[in-house]
Amino acid sequence: MFIYFIYALLLFECTAMCTAWLCFKQQPKEMKYFAFYLTFIFFSEVLGHISQQNIWNHLNMYYLNLIVIPVEFLFFFWLYYSLTVEKVHRLLVLVLSSIYLLLFMLECFHIQTTVFLSLSYLFGSISILIMIFGYFLQYLKNGDLQKMKSNPFLHISIGLLLFYLGTSPYYGLKNFIYKEYTEIINNYWYVAICLNCIMYCMFTVSFLCNRRKSI
């Protein structure tokens, strides 16, 4: 059962990546960078899956904690900073990203004694949720509601919202429940994978709706 969920996630990630490159020319600047981001994530997941099958699994943990997850958060910090037009909201994004980096660097000193960098991840998740709600409010205030379906960033935001709302408790408490409640972490893992698949499905839709708008 486990391996099928992994393959399903890789399929959704690969679909989002391929769609991004097939629709690359019609996309605005932010979406073109998003295509590179999806490519990085897909090949990182493939590398992680391969490394889990052999003695390099411990290196995969470091790669995930020290490179992949920070890149994810910093990319979305940049994305919402570039989408934000109000100076106060931009300042908030800068403050949140700075605090995230500080927490991340502090946790790096304990990387050998922990399973997951939960504190920085939880703060990064909450920060992204704050930025998503800020973007929604900005769009409702200034945007054309009739064009909501053709706005790729709304689809991206919905995917992120569902994922981080559903998985923040899991990843934020992972170190604790990993030691005390193994059964919970095993079952919640399947929920996290399903939410991941939904998120990448929304990413795929974001490129397709923007392509239809351009034709």
Task: Evaluate if pTM is beyond 0.85.
Answer: yes
How many C-beta atoms surround the C-beta of residue 162 within 10 A?
Answer: 15
Which pLDDT belongs to residue 119? 85
Domain containing 204 equals 2-214
- The DSSP secondary-structure symbol of 84 reads -
Burial 58-69 (b: 16+ CB within 10 A, else e): eebbebbbeebb
Q: 71 Cβ partners below 8 Å, 6+ apart? A: 37, 40
Please tell me the total count of domains within the chain: 1
Say whether 143 sits in a helix, a strand or coil. Answer: coil
Nearest to 96 by CA among 71, 110, 76, 69: 76
Q: What is the pLDDT along the chain (215 residues), one digit of tens a residue?
A: 778 888 999 999 999 999 999 998 888 899 999 999 999 999 999 888 777 666 566 677 788 888 999 999 999 999 999 998 888 989 999 999 999 999 999 888 776 656 678 889 999 999 999 999 999 888 888 766 566 677 899 999 999 999 999 988 877 776 666 666 667 767 788 888 999 999 999 999 999 986 544 44
